Amino acid sequence: MERPPRKSSGTPPRSLQRIAAALFLAILVALPFAVMYRAAVSQSLQDSWEWDPLPSLAASEEEGAEGGDLGSQDLKLERVLQKASMGDNTVILTTLNAAWASPGSVIDLFIDSFRSGVRTSSLLRHLVIIAFDWNAYKQCVKIHPYCFALGTDVVDFSEEKRFLTPGYVEMMWKRIDFLRLVLERGFSFIFSDADIMWFRNPFPHFYPDGDFQIACDHYVGNATDLRNIANGGFNYVKSNERSIEFYSFWYSSRLRYPGFHDQDVFNVIKHEPYVADIGLKIKFLSTSYFGGFCEPSRDLNKVCTMHANCCIGLGSKVHDLRIMMEDWRNYLSLPPSLKRSRALAWRVPQNCSLS
Ligand SMILES: *[C@@H]1O[C@H](CO)[C@@H](O)[C@H](O)[C@H]1NC(C)=O
Ligand SMILES: *[C@@H]1O[C@H](CO)[C@@H](O)[C@H](O)[C@H]1NC(C)=O
């Protein structure tokens, strides 16, 4: 930003002195508070995160919100996205907090699904896991080559966030803001929640002319009908002017709908004229391919992804995801004729429910 030109009239020495005096006073007053604040924050971080940062990340944390720090975070992000990206600058992204990162929990099932899916294991090379807290980050680097620790300020994202609690809502919005940044860097992405099992490569089922393609809790049978009820847990977004503008608009819309999470706000703003003005081409993805517990992808010969949506509580989620993985392996072991005859159906949801 350019500074306004300085006025040369008046009495510069005196006004400079005044400014200097005011600044000095301000620093005197503010410094103890700043120190106390930082101490309080780092204490609470220690308490809740078992503070044990890796050297490179510790360095960037020490510097607080200085320009250099933000710059190096940016570089780290750019580097990891570059390494993971496909030829056309597309990456696969998921987010992770400590509750979903523990061994045998959601993230292990997520990665396992890629390995046992049909032609999905090679997609792991393009997956970047965005960790919301240090425990998630530490677990990530044990199981996956591409991890990125997202600066988490003061809010602690490490615990299980139950649906629609304030912490959950904040975490979801942080994700939208981050995804805008990824688009601005020129990367297209598939964003997938980690409680979505990948059974087949989704790319053949995307629309070539869609900017923003999103899975649904309820699909009305027409990819452009705005009455589809979108689910923010899975989307494919191409980086362009329209998508960047849309993500900025989406993120800023949280202020008009306080307390609502990104998915609810999306299902409102999709009708707003401004979104049509942006020219964003929205496509809703059929639950026949991109299903979930709300509306399962019933044909195992077609399913690409299955989301543990319409499910409250981590224990229930992991329980049902494990059964879903068993069902998938059983399906894979069937002879072709039985596969075709659709002899096998999902045994889930069982413990997952909205009540
Ligand atoms: C799908 O929905 C769009 C938008 O509501 C509508 O214009 C179009 O006619 C619909 N297509 C079919 C096949 O119903
Ligand atoms: C799942 O449901 C069964 C039957 O209601 C129950 O016994 C079991 O404890 C539940 N498991 C979890 C992890 O919620």
221 pocket-lining for ligand 1 (C-beta < 6 Å): no
Q: Using the atom order of ligand 2, give the atom closest to the CA of residue 318.
A: 13
From the CA of 282, how far away is ligand 1's center (Å)?
13
Cα(351) to centroid(ligand 2), Å: 6
Residues within a 6 A CB radius of ligand 2: 315-316, 319, 351
For atom 14 of ligand 2, which residue has the closest CA? 316
Please tell me the predicted confidence (pLDDT) of residue 166: 64
What is the model's pLDDT at position 158? 59
Identify the structural domains of the chain with CATH numbers, from first to last: 72-339 (3.90.550.10)
Query: Could you check whether the bond before residue 349 is cis, i.e. omega within 30 degrees of 0?
Result: yes
Q: Which atom of ligand 1 is nearest to the CA of 227?
A: 5
Which residues are CB-contacts of 191 (< 8 A; sequence separation ≥ 6)? 93, 94, 175, 179, 234, 235, 236, 237
- Ligand 2 pocket check: which of 293, 314, 324, 351 to mutate, most ligand atoms within 8 Å of Cβ? 351
Q: What is the 3 state secondary structure string of the chain? A: CCCCCCCCCCCHHHHHHHHHHHHHHHHHHHHHHHHHHHHHHHHHHHHHHCCCCCHHHHHHHHCCCCHHHHHHHHHHHHHHHHHHCCCCCEEEEEEECHHHHCCCCHHHHHHHHHHHCECCHHHHHHEEEEECCHHHHHHHHHHCCCEEECCCCCCCCCCCCCCCCHHHHHHHHHHHHHHHHHHHCCCEEEEECCCEEECECCHHHCCCCCCEEEEEEECCCCCCCCCCEEEEEEEEECCCHHHHHHHHHHHHHHHCCCCCCHHHHHHHHCCCHHHHHHCCCEEECCCCCEEECCCCCCCCCCCCEEECCCCCCHHHHHHHHHHHHHHHHHHHHCCHHHHHCCCCCCCCCCCCCCC
What tokens were used for 352? 């997952």
Select from 181, 267, 259 the least CA-distant residue to 229.
267
Ligand 1 atom 3: residue of nearest CA: 225
Whole-number Å distance, alpha carbon 225 to ligand 1 midpoint, is 6
Q: Are 239 and 186 in contact (CB under 8 A)?
A: yes
Calculate how far, in angstroms, residue 92's C-alpha sits from the geometric centre of ligand 1: 30
224 lines ligand 1 (CB under 6 A): yes
Nearest-atom number in ligand 2 for the CA of 315 is: 13
Q: Where are the beta strands (DSSP E) in 173-284?
A: 188-192, 196-198, 212-218, 229-237, 282-284
Residue identifier of the C-alpha nearest atom 5 of ligand 2: 351
Closest residue by Cα to atom 3, ligand 2, is 351
* DSSP structure class, residue 102: S
Q: Is the CB of 227 under 6 A from ligand 1?
A: no
Q: pTM, whole model, 2 decimals?
A: 0.79
Q: Which ligand is nearest to the CA of 321?
A: 2
- DSSP at 4: P
> How far apart are the CA of 226 and the centre of ligand 2, in A?
37
Please report, in tens digits, the pLDDT of each residue of the chain (355 residues total): 333 433 333 344 444 445 445 544 444 444 333 333 333 333 222 222 222 233 333 222 333 333 445 568 889 999 999 999 999 999 999 999 999 999 899 999 999 999 999 999 999 999 999 999 889 999 999 999 999 998 754 445 555 655 556 677 888 899 999 999 999 999 999 999 999 999 999 999 999 999 999 999 999 999 999 999 999 999 999 999 999 999 999 999 999 999 899 999 999 999 999 999 999 999 999 999 999 999 999 999 999 999 999 998 999 999 999 999 999 999 999 999 999 998 899 999 999 976 5
Residue 173 identity (one-letter amino acid): W
- Whole-angstrom distance, CA of residue 278 vs CA of residue 169: 26
